[in-house]
Structure formats: C-alpha cells, structure tokens
Amino acid sequence: MEGNKRELHTELAVGALNFIDKIDAEINYSKEVNILNIVVSCPYFKTNFIPVVNKTVLDYSQIDSFVIFMCVEVSAEISIFDNSEIIKTGETILIPAIANTVIIISENCKLLEVTV
C-alpha cells in the first residue's frame, strides 16, 4: 500500500441524514437495587441494569461465558477470587468465564452487565 488518498463525500453524507424525524428509543426497565434488571435480551446478548447499594453477590456458575460490566454512574469495587478492582464512571471491566461469583461493593453505583 502506498497510502493512496480517496475522495471523501461528506456533503453527500450530510445530505442523506434526516434531522427532522425523531425516534423514540427510550426503553422502560425496572431499577430495583442489587438485582439484575433486564434492559435488552436477544439471542445474541443480554444487557442488565444493576444499581448497587452497599453489597451484592452475583452467581455466574451457570454461565459459560465472560461478563462485561460498564459503570455508568459513580464507582464500585468488583471482586473475583481474591482480587478486586475499582471501576469508575465510563470504565469497563471484563470478568473471565472461570469466575463463578462476583462481589460488587458501592455506596450507590449504577452498572450495566452484558452477557453473551
């Protein structure tokens, strides 16, 4: 490759956008504390909302896949085995598939949990 440049069609792209139509993409879901609240579930993945107050213990012994946590508000301490990490707003943490139990401690954080 010689790094050949190509023409960008930004004006055409902007012209193809529809700024008038509004899509109502709001999803209503439960926000019960310290449990998994289903936000989206499909054959490919599942996303849950978890508001954590004090401590919650999640059992992943029946799941044969990794788990992703995304912190959307405040921070939390996430522990597996004898290791723990702090996750802050905007950060993501990957829990390996071999973890059977995850302990989450926080004063009042909000997490998204994604499983495949």
> Domain with 91 in it: what CATH number?
2.60.120.10
- Does 49 map to a domain? yes
Report yes or no: 13 and 81 within 8 Å, Cβ to Cβ. no
- Does 52 map to a domain? yes
Average pLDDT over residues 7-14: 87
Distances (CA, A) of 40 to 11, 68, 69, 79, 87: 35, 14, 15, 25, 22
Helix (H) or strand (E) segment spanning residue 50: strand 46-59
- Does 105 map to a domain? yes
- Does 57 map to a domain? yes
Mean pLDDT of the chain: 93
Average pLDDT over residues 34-45: 96
- Does 109 map to a domain? yes
- Does 106 map to a domain? yes
Domain that includes residue 53, residue range: 30-115
Give the pLDDT confidence score for residue 19 in this predicted structure: 81
Taking only the tens place, the pLDDT of each residue in 96-115 is 999 999 999 999 999 999 99
Which tokens sit at 45? 């993945």
The total number of structural domains in the chain stands at 1
pLDDT-based confidence at residue 1 (cuts at 50, 70, 90): low
SS3 55: strand
- Does 2 map to a domain? no
Average pLDDT over residues 62-86: 96
> Over 80: is that where the pLDDT of 62 sits?
yes
Q: What angle do CA 23, 24, 30 make, to 5 degrees?
A: 150
- Does 99 map to a domain? yes
> Over 80: is that where the pLDDT of 17 sits?
yes
Phi/psi for 11 (5° steps) reads -65, -40
